[in-house]
Amino acid sequence: MKEDVAVIGVGQTNFTRDCGMSVRELCFEAYKDAAQGLNLDPKDVDASIIASAPEYDKQRTPAALVSEYLGFSPSPTFYLETVCSSGTTGVRVGYSLIKSGLHDIVVMVGFQKMSELDSRIAAQVMGRGDDTMFSSPFGTTMPGGHALYAQAHMDAFGTSEEQMAKIRVKNSFYGSQNPKANYKKRLDLESCMNADLVCTPLKKFDCCANCDGASAVILASADKARKYTDKPIWIMGTGMATSELNWSSRASLTNFDSVRNAAKSAYEMAGVGPEDINVAEVHDCFTISEILAYEDLGFAKTGEGGKLIDEEATYHTGRIPVNVDGGLLSKGHPIGGTGGSQVRTIVQQLREECGDSQVKDAKIGLVQNVGGVGTYANVIIFGRD
């Protein structure tokens, strides 16, 4: 296993509809959680990466603000944004900074404080993540975009609304076990099937919720990692890809090419395949998104993602456990904070710290984080000693 760059600390705030904190306080809580037990002085951090999507709060240049508040100044700080995949883009850049030899310890903090906007304005802001000349002025939204993919997948392969509802049933089961999740209520299939319609065929419980939250990932070179922890989790492979922003320019509406290309790069770099993954966190902003991820990551053949949830293969006792922390559907989706939360779960799984949802003998984990409607995609593969 490659032992170049390790994750030595992961942290997350509670994900909630209204955190009652400032951006700087929110980020501090995530970093404090990540640094717990490391005996890491903030002045030992060589660089920081702050990830979020703009327009949700009033603060501009949040990187300098957060870096100062966490005590990292005068080390360099960077602000990154690839909408919903900003956190894992930050991890990828942090990995690159360490791998290049420029830095030894890099902290990624991802956040979003979405409670300052009402739901209607938040939907408009998210919609502007699409093409502002040819798409978003005509009312395209994130639910609308994913509903197009859901309908195309249903028409092409017979994927059903019941299979999508089963995704939410699974993720609500694990969300009920996650103390940091925004939505902890267990849902049954009937409730999911009979929920109010949002955008055909997606219903209320097919959609994740806006929330406030932050996450932090502390990365270190091999030498530094072993100084701070006896449980380093190594980055084995990382892949990133981008699809056309305008959906009508894409070759297919039944899969995300960005995810497939990112996964191919990550698998090749790690020297593993989908059959080697013991546990995965995927970007389930909508239930159809998790089914697409099963196929795009190679866990199921194209068109057969729905079979995995029918067979309960993605529960923590199944063949390929996926989103056994509740996923975005239960945790909530604080845009910049999402990717780091996914990394946190995989790191904890590989450290065997996940209690009732622990996957037995998990040695290799995968994170898939998507920005927009399949526009950006990061896939990162992690392994333990």
Active site residue 316: no
- Tell me the residue ranges of DSSP E strands in 125-232: 197-199, 202-203, 213-221
Catalytic residue (one of 19, 27, 84, 208): 84
User: Any bridge partners for residue 110, and if so which?
Assistant: 51, 215
Q: Which residues contact 264 (CB under 8 A, 6 or more apart)?
A: 239
User: Any bridge partners for residue 215, and if so which?
Assistant: 12, 110
Active site residue 146: no
The distance of Cα 307 from the centroid of its chain, to the nearest Å, equals 23
* Three-state secondary structure call for residue 355: helix
Angle at 321 between CA 315 and CA 326, to 5 degrees: 65
| Residue 351 · residue 229 · CB < 8 Å | no
Closest listed residue to residue 9, CA positions, set 224, 189, 210, 175: 224
Closest listed residue to residue 91, CA positions, set 372, 342, 375: 342
Residue 64's identity, in one-letter code, is: A
DSSP single-letter state for residue 15: P
Angle at 291 between CA 285 and CA 295, to 5 degrees: 125
Question: Which residue bears the tokens 């960077």?
Answer: 78
Exposed e or buried b for every residue in 113-147, given b needs 16+ CB within 10 A?
Answer: bbbebeeeebbeebbebbbeeebbeeebbbbbbbb
d(CA 299, CA 306): 11
Q: Which residues contact 338 (CB under 8 A, 6 or more apart)?
A: 84, 87, 110, 215, 283, 328, 369
Q: Do you know the residue count of the chain?
A: 385
Catalytic residue (one of 153, 283, 333, 354): 333
Q: Which two tokens stand for residue 86?
A: 């900003």
* Catalytically annotated residues: 84, 333
